[in-house]
Amino acid sequence: MFPNSGNRVPKAGEHLSDAELGRLLGVALREELGASARATKTIMRWTGACDRSARNWMHGDGAPSGAHLIGLARGSDHVMAMLLELTGHTEFLVAADIHAVEVALARAMGVIETLKRQRLKSSD
């Protein structure tokens, strides 16, 4: 889930500076949201932070506070994946992928059922 952009993610237990965390966070946010004004507004909605903070995080300039980081992880799959990787809990990435597949399958089954009902109605 974390974008394979060639950036080295420190292994769990390695010291991570705020600057490095900010850089990795910026990569994850830009990968998921792009770098538009809409992306900044999305970050503001997720965290309650001001425009300047959201733009700084998008560009990898500085790291958010704990509460803002939680808001980012709640809203962004890429940020959550980055945090799981940084903390050495990559096994949860597989669980998240499995859940996404389950959701997609449930949606597909709903569409199939709708199409079946429409076909039955049209044949009457």
Tell me if 7 is assigned to some domain.
no
Whole-model pTM: value is 0.68
Q: Are residues 18 and 36 in the same domain?
A: yes
Q: Are residues 16 and 77 in the same domain?
A: yes
Give the number of domains in the chain. Answer: 2
Which tens digit of pLDDT belongs to each residue from 10-20? 555 568 899 99
Q: Are residues 56 and 107 in the same domain?
A: no
Q: Are residues 118 and 71 in the same domain?
A: no
Q: Are residues 68 and 120 in the same domain?
A: no
Tell me if 46 is assigned to some domain.
yes
What is the C-alpha to C-alpha distance for residues 2 and 82, in angstroms, rounded to an integer? 6
Domain that holds residue 101: 90-124
Q: Are residues 80 and 116 in the same domain?
A: no
CATH (domain of 61): 1.10.260
Residue 4: predicted pLDDT: 58
Q: Could you tell me if 74 and 17 are in contact, meaning their C-beta atoms sit under 8 angstroms apart? A: no
Reported in sequence order, the residue ranges of the chain that DSSP labels E, i.e. its strands, are none
Which tens digit of pLDDT belongs to each residue from 65-89? 999 999 999 999 999 999 999 988 8
